[in-house]
Structure 1
Amino acid sequence: MTLLDLTPRGVTTDRLSTLPVAIIGAGPIGLAAAAHLTERGIDFVVFEAGGEVAASVRAWGHTRLFSPWKHLVDPASRRLLEQHGWTLPEPERAPTGAELVEQYVAPLADVEEIATRVRLGVQVIGVTREGMDRTRTRARATTPFAVRIRTAAGEVEEIAARAVIDASGTYTSPNSLSSSGLELLGMSEVADAVAPALPDVLGRDRARFAGRHTTVVGAGHSAANTLLGLVELARQEPGTTVTWLIRNAQAVRVSSSADDELADRARLGSRVDNAVADGRITVLDGFEIIRGRRAAEGVELIGHRDGDVVMHRTDIVVNATGFRPDLDMLREIRLELDEIVEAPKRLAPLIDPNVHSCGTVEPHGFRELQHPEQGFFIVGMKSYGRAPTFLLATGYEQVRSVTAWLAGDAASASNVELVLPATGVCSTNIGQGGGCCS
């Protein structure tokens, strides 16, 4: 294992001291990092690929989160907002994704100290060190990062930075429908019949699903939210039918435990159980998907079940199989990732979904998030790799510790604390689905 220098360091060259910290992603975690850097007087720039802040959250904005407001607001962000007259919404109420954006994330992004440093419609396509690829070592730690971006106009630029915080999330990089993890064979043929996780089946996307047979693939909370939406749509729209396809040998479902302090999540599991028992959801488990192909009407999923080759016909497939980190832009960065879940090596044992739920993850900060690349951090959902046990409160503590480390505040960076609600299982299997929502 590579030995890392875990001592917080101040700026070591005159040029580095003039450069900002680059934050990738203007979601709740990226903007929380911005708030903490603002408090410490450290300059930064935020790159957001979407045309608005929190673009990924807006995509599933119709979905209600499990956590109440009291667990969804970063402390530094709250302090900054309250200086501008903001007040915390009902602490015990769980908002929808849209409410989270409208009442918290967007106002935070509008605070002058942050708004002037956010660049929208800018995609980060690569991160490296100025003038050196990942194989060069001499003077690496004191060489600025070069963040290559593509603007909405298609122009490519490079921005120098003293450090990089990657909070880009995983929503835009879903796991494959194929049980092998590779792209589904025949995907190009059926792509127009495949919907991403958490479609708005009762609102924006209603016409696409009404009166049709939808198959939801995945065994996590994202799948459960969509299944329940489709059950309600079937009640309203004749001809709407719902199949739940699970790639495990059996339908190990989402939590419905009375011990789950996130009550909305426990209720979600119970409602899915009831809909299955009542026959409103047809369960097809143990189905290992190999290929998709066009049928006379709709599509067919071809796979193995109980040792036999089987086919399942449907009109629409919802890919709720979870998410994975997009690491392409980090090819020239020296990363140290767990070989299974693709999380930082020291963090992976703390978030293993076979052992931990959302509420049993130990406090962690800069030490667990460090890579051999000095000054580079992956935070938020992306730091969890393929593990679906992430909560926003966890990400807020991550960026508090990381920004303290960047400021050279050893005591604060090392003193990590995290109080989370006691919870049930966040997701049943890292290959089967993603948890939603914090």
Structure 2
Amino acid sequence: MSTPTAGQLPVVVIGAGPIGLAAAAHLIDRGLKPLVLEAGPTAGTAVRAWSHVRLFSPWAEITDPAAEKLLAPTGWLRPDGAAYPTGGDWAEHYLQPLADTLADHVRYGATVTGIARAGRDRIVDAGRDEQPFTVHVQHTGGREERLTARAVVDASGTWTTPSPMGADGLPALGEKTAADRISYRVPNLGDPTVRARYTGKRTAVIGSGASAFTALAHLADLAQQENGTHAVWVLRRGIGANTYGGGATDQLPARGALGLRAKAAVDAGHASAVTGFRTQAVEHDTEGRLLLVADDGRRLNPVDEIIVLTGFRPDLSFHSEIRLGLDERLQAPTALAPLIDPNVHSCGTVYPHGVTELSHPEPDVYLVGMKSYGRAPTFLALTGYEQVRSITAALAGDHEAAQRVELTLPETGVCGGAGLFDDPTADQTSDTKGCCAAPTTLQIGPNTPAAVTSGGC
């Protein structure tokens, strides 16, 4: 049996979410063979986890041109480009049809546990670049498999690795012990079981981005219906002009409305804000309620539940034998990090980028989509589609197309200065911008779209 040449080997794409499936579509358009490995049972498994959430971005901004080209012969038509889908809509009407069209190029229940150069660990130089990649896969049911690939595109996202509540980036003392009373996602209060968990309860909401705004707004709605329900908003910074985002000046109206609803929750007394509070520990009082303790010794009054919305971070564990070049702060590719630094940029001020900014010391391995942004929350789906367009062009040998920028992003409004999050004394009138955190949702009215996703902003 002959050994496959590099050109015959597939490009392994990790994750069947929006960016991973777009990468597969671009690879096919370039005459290359993709193999998409999805840990979940369906396309868009992470998106389905927030299926009730409505995106801030309309359909026109969350579908990829190469994917649409692949879907067209099936009779697929993009929904109204001006309409705002929910996560469930996105998965059902775009991601799953795209994955079904890709057919055998997508495998479900396939978790990547490791990537390496065949026969070379990360310290071996000799002959390294001539070796293909070996991708270690654990299938549902326990079966293990070793795949060989010419390149690897990791679009696995960050949804499975939320950041902890500790202000130092590590779990607070007692956080793991209290895990049954802590959630790291915006609760879906439309679910009766989830609603019961927070009804009549005092809940701490830790975080200062759009997800925290959403939780505050939802809990405020619940407080108006159920006595005893109250939110305690825990901020590491003070409250200033940009605390609630862009408001009426935000060019994404639904996102601006989200911040205004959070402000209304505080103004109406349904939520109380605690500023300059850097959580160090979680303790229990004599009645079993939870006590948050700051690094300066302050203790909050007891709460029944805690919602931690402090962002997400990339899982790099299965890249341990690959040579990645990552920024020491953001955990994003070194050349990309200055372009996405949330101390400086909002979604719309991030310059479109591609293979040059996403390359690593290890050739032909790429982190794309939300994962490429590391801990920066400024990602847009359109940006991810441009990333994979450029990368697949490079893999196909079309270096002119790989270097060409084919995306112009609009300025998307004013958000709270992410660089000020940890400084309660910082100048809150700064126009430093940061936005587009984890998936959030807000019901403003029966027909008003009001949500943001890390894949669509």
Q: Shorter chain as normaliser: what TM range? A: over 0.9
1:23 equivalent to 2:13? Answer yes
Secondary structure at 2:7 match in 1: helix
Aligned to 1:238: 227
**CA-CA distance at 1:260 after TM superposition:** 2.5
Are residues 1:78 and 2:85 paired?
A: no
Counterpart CA distance in 2 for 1:311 and 1:267 is: 29
Amino acid at match of 2:207: G
The secondary structure found in structure 2 opposite 1:233 is helix
The sequence identity of aligned pairs, in percent, is: 46
1:67 aligns with 2:53: no
Structure 2: distance between partners of 1:254 and 1:171 = 24
**Alignment deviations for residues 73-112 of structure 1 (CA, whole Å, 9 cap, x no partner):** 111111111221111112112211111111111111111x
The residue that corresponds to 1:136 in the other structure is 124
Distance in structure 1 (CA, Å) of the matches to 2:315 and 2:301: 30
* Partner residue, 1:224: 213
Corresponding position: 1:261 with 2:251: yes
| Amino acid paired to 1:265 | R
2:128 counterpart SS class: coil
SS of residue in 1 equivalent to 2:344:
coil
Letter in 2 for 1:137: D
Q: 1:27·1:105 contact (CA, 8 Å) conserved in 2?
A: yes
- Alignment pair present for 1:273 and 2:263: yes
Question: Mean Cα displacement is larger for which, 293-302 or 97-106?
Answer: 293-302
CA offsets, 1:9-41, max 9 Å, x none? xxxx96222211111111000000011111112
SS of the residue corresponding to residue 100 of structure 1 reads helix
CA distance change for structure 1 residues 92 and 86 in 2, over 3 Å: closer, same or farther?
Answer: same
1:133-179 C-alpha deviation (Å, 9 max, x unpaired): 11111221221101111111122221111100000000111111000
Contact preservation (8 Å) 1:389, 1:427: no
1:298 to 264, 289, 314: 289
Structure 1 residues 231 and 325 mapped into 2: Cα distance closer, same or farther (>3 Å)? same
Q: Structure 1: 5+ residue runs without aligned partners?
A: 1-12
For 1:299, give the aligned amino acid.
L
Distance in 1, matches of 2:160 and 2:235, equals: 22
Q: Which residue pairs with 1:339 in the alignment? A: 328
> Corresponding residue for 1:185?
173
**What CA RMSD, in Å, does the superposition of the two structures yield over aligned residues?**
1.8
1:357 paired residue number: 346
Q: Is 1:394 aligned to residue 378 of structure 2?
A: no
**Are residue 376 (structure 1) and residue 365 (structure 2) matched?**
yes
After superposition, where does 1:283-322 map in structure 2 within 5 Å? 283-295=273-285, 296-304=287-295, 307-322=296-311
User: What TM-score, normalized to structure 2?
Assistant: 0.88
Cα distance in 2 between the residues matched to 1:141 and 1:232: 57
Tell me if 1:45 matches 2:35. yes
Contact preservation (8 Å) 1:39, 1:76: yes
Q: Give the residue type in structure 2 aligned to 1:197.
A: R
**8 A contact 1:202–1:233 mirrored in 2:** no
| 1:179 match: secondary structure | coil
C-alpha distance in structure 2 between counterparts of 1:47 and 1:330, whole Å: 15
AA aligned opposite 2:218: G
1:312 positional shift: 4.0
3-state SS in 2 of match to 1:31: helix
Distance, in Å, in 1 between the alignment partners of 2:378 and 2:97 is 27
- TM superposition shift of 1:353: 0.6
In structure 1, what is the Cα distance between the partners aligned to 2:348 and 2:34? Answer: 31
Deviations 1:206-241 (A, max 9, x none): 222222222111101111122211111222233221
User: Distance between the aligned counterparts of 2:189 and 2:215, measured in 1?
Assistant: 7
2:83 alignment partner in structure 1: 93
Q: Taking structure 1 as the reference length, what is the TM-score of the superposition?
A: 0.92
Shift in CA distance, 373/94, structure 1 to aligned 2, threshold 3 Å:
same
Counterparts of 1:189 and 1:299, CA distance in 2: 11
Are residue 118 (structure 1) and residue 106 (structure 2) matched? Answer: yes
| Contact 1:129 1:144 (C-alpha < 8 Å) held by counterparts | yes
Q: Secondary structure at the match of 2:177?
A: helix
User: Do structure 1's residue 209 and structure 2's residue 198 form an aligned pair?
Assistant: yes
- Which deviations, in whole Å up to 9, do the C-alpha atoms of 1:234-287 show, x marking residues without a partner? 222332211211122446524234342211111111121222112122111211
SS at match of 1:234: helix
1:373 corresponds to which letter in structure 2? E
Deviation at 1:192, TM superposition (A): 0.5
Q: Give the 3 Å change call, closer, same or farther, for CA 398–312 of structure 1 in structure 2.
A: farther
**Aligned residue in 2 for 1:55:** 45
Return closer, same or farther for 1:422/1:291 CA change in 2, 3 Å cut-off. same
2:249–2:414 CA contact under 8 A, matched in 1: no
| Displacement after TM superposition at 1:435 (Å) | 4.4
**Counterpart AA for 1:413:** A
Distance 1:269 1:33 in 2: 33
Report if aligned partners of 2:246, 2:416 keep a CA contact under 8 Å in 1.
Answer: no
Alignment-mate amino acid for residue 302 of structure 1:
V
Q: Mark the CA change 1:21 to 1:249 in structure 2 (over 3 Å): closer, same or farther.
A: same
For 2:81 and 2:188, how far apart are their aligned partners in 1?
A: 26
Q: Which amino acid aligns with 2:291?
A: E
On the 8 A contact 1:195/1:319 being kept in 2, the answer is yes
How far did 1:53 drift?
A: 1.6
Equivalent-residue separation in structure 2 for 1:257 and 1:421 (angstroms): 17
Contact 1:63 1:225 in 2 (8 A): no
